[in-house]
Amino acid sequence: MLNRMSTAAQSPRSTPLHSVSVAGAVVRDDGRVLAIQRADNGNWELPGGVLEIQESPEAGACREVLEETGIEVSVERLTGVYKNMSRGIVALVFRCRPIGGSECASDESAAVSWLTPEQVTATMTEAYAVRLLDALSDDAPHVRIHDGRSVLNAA
């Protein structure tokens, strides 16, 4: 048994690994939330991206929000962990508050807008709208799985 475990530990992985991303659910005092229209596919989502090796999840969320929107933020708390089952991406979403900067599009965002919760529901696919709506709730953090469009569990 020990030989088999040692061999398995030394052999290349046959199972794909997960990618970790971070996102900022930026909430203004008036309850509007920051969203971007992605430049690559036109979908509305919250700003975020791949966590870099050398950064903390909170720092990554702040960096991604600034890069994609021009808004500087401070992180308040973790509001959810979301796994895209079809792509193997685990996303950590943090509720943030704006502390500076001004909205501007980037290479990754065709548009930046402050949306009401009703606009979030109408504009985004369920898998991404739920991240912003979860950030508005007091019972976070939430753990959910999705297929890239729809939530697969509501627990």
| DSSP-H helix ranges across the chain | 2-10, 57-69, 117-123, 126-136
User: What's the average pLDDT block by block, 10 residues per block, for the chain (155 residues)?
Assistant: 43 75 97 96 96 97 98 98 94 98 96 97 96 92 94 72
Q: What is the CATH number of the domain that holds 69?
A: 3.90.79.10
The model's pTM: 0.87
| pLDDT for the residue 13 | 62
Cα–Cα distance for residue pair 24/93, rounded to 1 Å: 6
- Predicted confidence at residue 154, as pLDDT, reads 54
How many domains is the chain built from? 1
Would residue 12 count as lying in a domain? no
pLDDT at 16: 76
